[in-house]
Structure 1
């Protein structure tokens, strides 16, 4: 309830009346800018986030979209908060559908971004605390965000493909035009199913919350109607309609007694479809069969994946992408009986497998010796999921897995049907995997963080150097457990604890232990003396002494999209320090202050960030130095390579190398160093940090002088404003 109470307070503070917001904005406009504000702005860029939609802004709702819970009389706090959060979510949905209806696809995606996810997470938490009796809308809100993001992509791709189609027609490339017309048909069909799911979810949300998404529904219907209309126009222009007829057949079918269907395939004017073969989709299978000159054909279908007891199957003619013919289909009545197959698994190839080793076996599925093709399998190993492909034409599938730490004793790979009640079923099959125990190595280092607090970190690996993840490490002092931690994907762990009252950092020895009981790993342990804080300067360093990020920078590495803020944070810190030691300030503006042709703020070239990195090195903070140096390089090279803030560090590296703005070896080395400094939980040595800072300085020098110029917006309806980093 503490978390919910905090959310209630947050909601009350956030729902500021529009008039109050306007008054606040007017007052803030009269406040003089603080010194250095312009420099900070140039370092950070203009923060841009998708606007929250309100009823007054877009007329998207006849009801209340955004309501201050403090103004709702007589309602329970949780109900008021739930209403507030649903208003936030409905506003985001309305903003997204509005932008979609205008063809502003990037803005439509951004409107259902992190703010929506954050509000949805809170909504789910609060809904769990209320007695909704299943009448909440959390599932529908999840459906909306997943489906609408996909729908925006579908509509965007449809219009882009439409432009390619028109270009192919103008160029006289008929085959390419028909290929694109079929792609447009597929996209329109995807859009129809996605829009139907959205409309259903909108109705449920409107019924279960205070909001009204009628306008959003109208906008989605209009968007899809436009897509379907364009599809129909193109299909009628490009393709010849066809029809499918079938002769009498035996409706009682099974895998051992297949459906044998004969019929004819003709154009609407009665002329036979030309071609010696044709493809048909039947019950999830694709069947190719011969077609005679008069359009007659015969196909054989063995039901395997469809449910036993099915009363019909759809037979659909699938023309080639470049064909002039239009697809057609026919529903044929059947009665499907279930049959049993036999599954088998090959023996593992190696004599024994240890932790993290890969294991592959071959599965086969047959009915009385006849292979069962295209059948989905569910596979597992040691109570963990394994990967299994659908069976091929020979009824075979490759099952692959990795040995987890929990695999002990007689662990087996197991395959079973991926679903119940199919036309073909089988009893699960299993094969034992021989396992061996593997030795481990644990290391530890300990350091004082001030005020009796000790930080312990290290890494757990196998004797072969494989990182061991997800395993507990117990930390103790003088035989007493004082903390515990779990290893991450790289095997690293970190624990922080207060020294017992009867122990001192000067003579304390910290122990770390991994207990391999219940796993296929041997136990291991390590000890470390506590490295003391040395001198007054280090005493205030806290985690900085270990090379970890200081508290005011720790949030920076939570997401690569805001890594560019590191330099600005340190620059503000440095300016604050400089102002504290400066005794006089010249009030007269210098020539450089007033000259419009002066050099651009050096923050955009990364130089101040690199200077700050050197300062961090001198202060004994190697991890800070690497992170800040990387931020400087990112600010320098990003504009030249056209990389936005949302790119991860490795995406940024690849795009810069592809754009030719930086040498691959140097940028990859810096990126790997940044990843270790920011994410691994391990310290970077002073020597390695110094080398990486020099690498960063050389990379920043490769940026073109005009790299900071922003490309002009072309004003296209499909374009949207770049979303900058938000502080």
Structure 2
């Protein structure tokens, strides 16, 4: 193997990075200090060589089993150089630098994942050898089968990484052949090792299938015959074997000739002549390897009966209620069919029907649904599928919730500091809603409330000898929240304004409330202000420190009522738990007998149940992020992405979260199963979240 370079951030194989020069022989400047497109081409070339060297160093470290080294070489420094390269690429004279930037990013991810997979494989191989030395053939088979999957992932990652490196070479002047050689040698070594493991421990199989019927529908399944043989031509006779047809698993019995018969009952398959995949799935401790085959059949459509109901007739902002739907064909429940719940066209929950064809979701009413008579629509999001996309509607009344605005304004060197909070009259904070701020001088600004309903910004500061009034308005027509307005006046020549008007108790209550808001205390006294004028502002204390002084900021809070307030609906405590149909998604209280996350995903991956593995990965990340970011428990997977980004989840974690969400959506809603590599990637991203202390 080639020797490692002494500089983790430089090129591999001890090659020196030449510092590019311009026509005036000016030495290349530090990328951190180059601006306005100066030396852009030279800077891009330097950064490309630097990152190329880091990629090669990582490959060399990996070939030497130095996994931590392989990861650290592509750590913060690589990320910084990549960020600089992306910025510089926009200023260069070549369009290929933009393409190279994407390849450098993809190469980093594939190299990191390849490192993880190679480390996992070598750990598995050590466990495999130990099991064989102990004479534990069952454990050896289980481990060998896990190694089979890992070796396949390594091959896929290696191929993708080589493509990244080739594209980088084609778009830059960087030579990455040494890194490619190291990658290919590592992959070839593992492939050879796995071939030996397969030869000494596992037996290959051949699956053949044929559709006997020309058509298939949910109400009239198609008959499929097949045979399972070993690689030496013998049959797997008189055994119960597991088959996966598309994303559904079933057990069938072989006869003395290894022949079996099964039924294909389509749900999500596209209409017309289709090539349907079928896979033989051995037990985790089986000596046999899996095999795949396909059969062709004409898929026909069935229109199901869909009914729905809700647990309440009236809801308001933030209320939780249950929505239930039932999908059946000729009175038989249709299981594993995706269902969306929508109000006014906005999807508020997604789930999958259970074994009896029913599904129940706990929905928390968002602010974006307009008040009035509405309908909860339960629909199957299918088009041109074996199960027709139909829907059912349930009427529901969305009652308006009155709101209040708290507002404070104070003068600062850089303008008027405006801060406040949007709340319901019951004291619940309102997140993610727009508030319009304006002054009597004419300036206007729009802000959005944070997850605790607060907002803070600065407005242009008029001369201190002029008084100014700040007006905050919440007025969102397409919403179930009532309007609210608040004003704060700063008098001329001071940081405050007119003395507060109102009762002392009202002033004290407001001050206590705002201290809690602005200092982040959870102990916030309930406040119902109605119509009144009270206020405070922050003033410096001579000699240092700060004091809360009741002075000039005047408050005016108005709540608009469009209709009488209904009695709050209640939901049983059990209904507040998220109910997600499908494998491994039932919310339970942990106990000492509950399998761990690793137990569950490894069990599913070892058995080839990639859909279930993807769902477990998503559930772990969903629950953690929902709790950490204050999201509703019923938040859907795409809402989880959107709101996590809004709440400042780092972009690197957002990319990982997208991987998990996309795999989950395929597992839950797509007609075909999750690709093994995608399921593995989703599980790996979930592991990263857990290792970072997120889930």
TM over 0.5: yes
Asked if 1:473 corresponds to 2:435, the answer is yes
- Looking at structure 2, the residues matched to 488 and 257 of structure 1 have their Cα atoms a distance apart, in angstroms, of 53
Asked if 1:348 corresponds to 2:305, the answer is no
CA displacement at 1:437 relative to structure 2 = 1.6
Asked if 1:499 corresponds to 2:461, the answer is yes
Asked if 1:521 corresponds to 2:478, the answer is no
The counterpart of 1:229, out of the listed 192, 199, 203, is 192
Asked if 1:620 corresponds to 2:538, the answer is no
The secondary structure found in structure 2 opposite 1:286 is strand
- Looking at structure 2, the residues matched to 473 and 114 of structure 1 have their Cα atoms a distance apart, in angstroms, of 38
Asked if 1:357 corresponds to 2:282, the answer is no
**Other-structure match for 2:180:** 217
The secondary structure found in structure 1 opposite 2:99 is coil
- Looking at structure 2, the residues matched to 363 and 355 of structure 1 have their Cα atoms a distance apart, in angstroms, of 23
- Looking at structure 2, the residues matched to 128 and 415 of structure 1 have their Cα atoms a distance apart, in angstroms, of 47
- Looking at structure 2, the residues matched to 377 and 179 of structure 1 have their Cα atoms a distance apart, in angstroms, of 37
CA displacement at 1:520 relative to structure 2 = 1.8
Q: Deviations over 1:605-657 (max 9, x none)?
A: xxxxxxxxxxxxx96389xxxxxxxxxxxxxxxxxxxxxxxxxxxxxxxxxxx
Q: Deviations over 1:669-713 (max 9, x none)?
A: xxx9xxxxxx999xxxxxxxxxxxxxxxxxxxxxxxxxxxxxxxx
Aligned in 2, Cα 1:300/1:181: closer, same or farther, shift over 3 Å?
A: same
TM-score w.r.t. length of structure 1: 0.57
Q: Judge conservation of contact 2:322–2:360 (CA < 8 Å) in 1.
A: yes
CA displacement at 1:527 relative to structure 2 = 4.2
The secondary structure found in structure 2 opposite 1:211 is coil
Write the mapping of 1:316-327 to structure 2, written as runs, cut at 5 A: 316-327=279-290
Q: Judge conservation of contact 2:462–2:468 (CA < 8 Å) in 1.
A: no
CA displacement at 1:350 relative to structure 2 = 1.9
Aligned in 2, Cα 1:87/1:431: closer, same or farther, shift over 3 Å?
A: farther
Q: Which runs of 5+ in 2 are unaligned?
A: 1-5, 27-36, 497-514, 519-542, 548-627, 629-645, 649-695
Q: Judge conservation of contact 2:438–2:470 (CA < 8 Å) in 1.
A: yes
Write the mapping of 1:72-91 to structure 2, written as runs, cut at 5 A: 83=45, 86-91=48-53
Write the mapping of 1:197-596 to structure 2, written as runs, cut at 5 A: 197-246=160-209, 249-268=212-231, 272-273=235-236, 276-309=239-272, 311-329=274-292, 331-342=293-304, 344=306, 346-367=308-329, 369-376=331-338, 381=343, 384-399=346-361, 401-409=363-371, 422-427=385-390, 433-449=396-412, 451=413, 453-478=415-440, 480-481=442-443, 483-501=445-463, 503=465, 510-528=470-488
Aligned in 2, Cα 1:297/1:134: closer, same or farther, shift over 3 Å?
A: farther
CA displacement at 1:298 relative to structure 2 = 1.5
Q: Deviations over 1:26-64 (max 9, x none)?
A: xxxxxxxxxxxxxxxxxxxxxxx99323266369xxxx8
- Looking at structure 2, the residues matched to 87 and 115 of structure 1 have their Cα atoms a distance apart, in angstroms, of 14
Asked if 1:183 corresponds to 2:128, the answer is no
- Looking at structure 2, the residues matched to 336 and 297 of structure 1 have their Cα atoms a distance apart, in angstroms, of 21
The secondary structure found in structure 2 opposite 1:323 is coil
- Looking at structure 1, the residues matched to 308 and 150 of structure 2 have their Cα atoms a distance apart, in angstroms, of 41
Q: Which runs of 5+ in 1 are unaligned?
A: 1-48, 535-545, 550-617, 623-671, 673-678, 682-727
- Looking at structure 2, the residues matched to 418 and 277 of structure 1 have their Cα atoms a distance apart, in angstroms, of 35
Q: Judge conservation of contact 2:210–2:295 (CA < 8 Å) in 1.
A: no
The counterpart of 2:14, out of the listed 57, 60, 64, is 57
CA displacement at 1:182 relative to structure 2 = 2.0
The secondary structure found in structure 2 opposite 1:404 is coil
Q: Which has the higher contact order (CA 8 A, sep 6+)?
A: 1
- Looking at structure 1, the residues matched to 40 and 388 of structure 2 have their Cα atoms a distance apart, in angstroms, of 49
**Other-structure match for 2:137:** 174
- Looking at structure 2, the residues matched to 336 and 72 of structure 1 have their Cα atoms a distance apart, in angstroms, of 71
- Looking at structure 2, the residues matched to 124 and 411 of structure 1 have their Cα atoms a distance apart, in angstroms, of 48
TM-score w.r.t. length of structure 2: 0.59
Q: Judge conservation of contact 1:476–1:483 (CA < 8 Å) in 2.
A: yes
Write the mapping of 1:119-138 to structure 2, written as runs, cut at 5 A: 119-121=81-83, 123-124=85-86, 132=95, 136-138=99-101
Q: Judge conservation of contact 1:414–1:428 (CA < 8 Å) in 2.
A: yes
- Looking at structure 2, the residues matched to 423 and 303 of structure 1 have their Cα atoms a distance apart, in angstroms, of 6
**Other-structure match for 2:56:** 94
Aligned in 2, Cα 1:247/1:283: closer, same or farther, shift over 3 Å?
A: closer
CA displacement at 1:260 relative to structure 2 = 1.8
The secondary structure found in structure 1 opposite 2:545 is coil
Aligned in 2, Cα 1:93/1:318: closer, same or farther, shift over 3 Å?
A: same
Q: Judge conservation of contact 2:308–2:378 (CA < 8 Å) in 1.
A: no
CA displacement at 1:334 relative to structure 2 = 0.7
Aligned in 2, Cα 1:325/1:503: closer, same or farther, shift over 3 Å?
A: same
CA displacement at 1:438 relative to structure 2 = 1.3
Q: Judge conservation of contact 2:207–2:228 (CA < 8 Å) in 1.
A: yes
Aligned in 2, Cα 1:452/1:120: closer, same or farther, shift over 3 Å?
A: closer
Aligned in 2, Cα 1:500/1:517: closer, same or farther, shift over 3 Å?
A: farther
Q: How many residue pairs end up in the alignment?
A: 490
- Looking at structure 2, the residues matched to 510 and 494 of structure 1 have their Cα atoms a distance apart, in angstroms, of 13
- Looking at structure 1, the residues matched to 393 and 428 of structure 2 have their Cα atoms a distance apart, in angstroms, of 28
- Looking at structure 2, the residues matched to 350 and 65 of structure 1 have their Cα atoms a distance apart, in angstroms, of 72
RMSD of the TM alignment (CA)? 4.4
Name the structure where helix makes up a greater proportion of residues. 1
Q: Judge conservation of contact 1:484–1:495 (CA < 8 Å) in 2.
A: no
Aligned in 2, Cα 1:414/1:238: closer, same or farther, shift over 3 Å?
A: farther
The secondary structure found in structure 2 opposite 1:341 is coil
CA displacement at 1:547 relative to structure 2 = 13
CA displacement at 1:424 relative to structure 2 = 4.3
Q: Deviations over 1:349-391 (max 9, x none)?
A: 2222323334542344445555444344566555655442333
Q: Deviations over 1:278-308 (max 9, x none)?
A: 1012222212112335533211122333444
Asked if 1:192 corresponds to 2:192, the answer is no
**Other-structure match for 1:105:** 67
CA displacement at 1:321 relative to structure 2 = 0.9
Q: Judge conservation of contact 2:434–2:447 (CA < 8 Å) in 1.
A: yes
- Looking at structure 2, the residues matched to 70 and 396 of structure 1 have their Cα atoms a distance apart, in angstroms, of 73
Aligned in 2, Cα 1:445/1:290: closer, same or farther, shift over 3 Å?
A: same
